[in-house]
Structure 1
């Protein structure tokens, strides 16, 4: 399946805490490593149905240690907590960027509702 969005740039920040993604339609997003990690499209995070989706706490300090191409349709991100099973398609990265404010707030609300923290070991 061809992606509707096509990236023109993928750049990992020097501190490995964010990924800059630009698209041919002019949209560009700086996506924090923590946000990408807790939004991983992997079955480990998303489950196999919406009811199985997990809220992932303790990732405030996570970094991206690898960005690996998957064909011409996605990248696999490798995080320093060794999570590496999410395949981030171009459309998914675009949605994460375009809806970042709402998605991030929903994540923070889920953490609060479940008594979880962005910090490890709290």
Structure 2
């Protein structure tokens, strides 16, 4: 049991993000985060919205996969600090329940291209779009 706890601690430590040095909300379209190791990420509102860490009532379950669609033009209205570990983003589609930690921002930034490519592949596979539905 002790060996497992040490292994978990070792893995967890190796995955921790470096210390955040700067967070900039460039409303309404993106967020910029910078870390002590020199990593700097510019994350779009759409990207942050579709990877929200919160459960969302607007998520479609398609073929067993949960997909948020139609968020290409979503904007960020504000970002409220939550303790010393993250922010709550409030989007203009009124989604506001996700808390984005500094570690989660680092994960998103480090894997941005892979995550977005997989998202677009999933949408295409199910015939869905990043664009919002047209109003009649």
TM-score, structure 2 normalization: 0.78
Could you tell me how far apart the structure 1 residues matched to 2:32 and 2:89 are? 13
Superposition RMSD in Å = 2.2
SS, match of residue 44 in structure 1: coil
SS, match of residue 131 in structure 2: coil
Task: Provide runs of 4+ in structure 1 moved above 4 Å.
Answer: none
SS, match of residue 34 in structure 2: strand
Deviation at residue 5 of structure 1 after TM alignment: 3.0
When the two structures are aligned, how many residues end up with a matched partner?
116
Q: Which runs of 5+ in 2 are unaligned?
A: 1-15
Q: Does 1:12 align with 2:12?
A: no
Deviation at residue 6 of structure 1 after TM alignment: 2.2
- Within a 5 Å distance, the mapping from 1:105-120 to structure 2 comes to 105-120=117-132
TM-score, structure 1 normalization: 0.86
The answer on whether the counterparts of 2:87 and 2:100 sit within 8 Å (CA) in structure 1 is yes
The answer on whether the counterparts of 2:23 and 2:31 sit within 8 Å (CA) in structure 1 is yes
Could you tell me how far apart the structure 2 residues matched to 1:7 and 1:69 are? 13
Residue matched to 1:66 = 78
SS, match of residue 103 in structure 1: helix
- Within a 5 Å distance, the mapping from 1:26-65 to structure 2 comes to 26-44=38-56, 54-65=66-77
